[in-house]
Amino acid sequence: MMPTRGALTRDGTELVYWTWPGASPPALLLHGIGNYGRYWDLFADAIAGRLQLVAPDARGHGESGKPADGYAPADFAADALAILDRLGIERAAVVGHSMGGLHSISLAARHPERVQALVIVDASPEPLPHGAERAQRLLTGRPARFADHQAARAYLERTSPGYSDAVYENRLAFAFREEDGGLVWRSDPAALKRIMSGRMPAEDRWYALAGIACPTLVVRGTRSNVLSEDVARRMVQTLADGRLMELDAGHNVPLDRPRELADATVALAT
């Protein structure tokens, strides 16, 4: 099912979001750094209307505005709440992947009245060095421009091998935009650098986790280069109502295992 595009402006920054119709409760989907709201397309297909879905393009990403600053976790949380308010959603299940998972922790800790249940997908208070270095390298060292779709797809397949054709086509459609006959990234390099340099200290993330009371599922890809098994188990022990699900996946669990993640989200949220 194709989602509907919506937009609003908060503090001068346009925020684009995508909605899929479905049953209650609504679920807010927060993507990782360098991605976009339509990253969740495969997950939405697997949800198949069992939940209403809302997936923003985070500021600095996708079709949303790219201001010079305002990339602290509190800014992303305020954006998400503005979108929920626009849609008349009082409380939502929140599913956050990677950067979006860290933002979902912040959202649930600061605004518990708005979060019914939480799914933290391969996000870590203490990321593994290998995954953090890889993200830094891919996001700051990527080519700025590609001559055509074929060149962009070849780059994606080389740097992120092993995905389905549907995943590469999704990335081509939504990670890039056409400019002067070629393709350029939608996510803003300056925004990505600000996000990576402005991350919360690990102790603040652990403190936020300890303050979350709603039912929370920590999802880890067993081949993740970001979230270690040890840290995932500590997260579950730190949460008031935490549980762990491990899936045969890399860091991008929503792309590798959309069906299992969708089923687990529905089970937790309903």
What single string gives the DSSP state of each residue in 122-148?
S--SS--HHHHHHHHHHHHSS-SEESS
The DSSP 8-state label assigned to residue 113 in this structure reads G
Q: How far apart are CA 23 and CA 121, in angstroms?
A: 22
Q: Tens digits of per-residue pLDDT, 190-242?
A: 999 999 887 788 899 999 999 999 999 999 999 999 999 999 999 999 999 99
pLDDT reading at 17 higher than 80: yes
Q: Of how many residues is the chain composed?
A: 270
Q: How far apart are CA 43 and CA 267, in angstroms?
A: 14
Q: What share of the chain is helix, strand, coil (3-state, %, to 5)?
A: 45, 20, 35
| Average pLDDT estimate for 38-62 | 98
- Cβ density class 175-184: b for 16+ within 10 Å, e for less: bbeeeeeebe
pLDDT reading at 164 higher than 80: yes
| Average pLDDT estimate for 43-53 | 98
Domain boundaries, the chain: 4-128+189-269
pLDDT reading at 262 higher than 80: yes
Mean pLDDT of the chain: 96
Q: Tens digits of per-residue pLDDT, 244-260?
A: 999 999 999 999 999 99
Task: Give the residue ranges of DSSP H helices in 7-141.
Answer: 41-47, 73-86, 99-110, 129-140
Q: How far apart are CA 8 and CA 97, in angstroms?
A: 23
pLDDT reading at 33 higher than 90: yes
| Average pLDDT estimate for 81-95 | 98
CA 129 centroid distance within chain? 20
Cα dist from 163 to 167, 168, 236, whole Å: 6, 7, 29
pLDDT at residue 40 in the model: 98
CATH number of 4-128+189-269: 3.40.50.1820
Q: Tens digits of per-residue pLDDT, 111-124?
A: 999 999 999 999 99
Q: How far apart are CA 84 and CA 87, in angstroms?
A: 5
Confidence of residue 176 (pLDDT cuts 50, 70, 90): very high
| Average pLDDT estimate for 119-137 | 89
Whether residue 25 is preceded by a cis peptide bond, meaning omega within 30 degrees of 0, is yes
pLDDT at residue 140 in the model: 82
For the beta carbon of residue 243, count every other beta carbon within 10 angstroms: 13
| Average pLDDT estimate for 144-172 | 96
Percentage of residues in the chain having pLDDT higher than 70: 100
- What does the block give as tokens for 77? 């949380």
Confidence of residue 130 (pLDDT cuts 50, 70, 90): confident
| Average pLDDT estimate for 132-147 | 87
Q: How far apart are CA 42 and CA 47, in angstroms?
A: 9
For the beta carbon of residue 6, count every other beta carbon within 10 angstroms: 15
Helix (H, G, I), strand (E, B) or coil at 243: strand
pLDDT reading at 132 higher than 90: no
pTM, 2 dp: 0.97
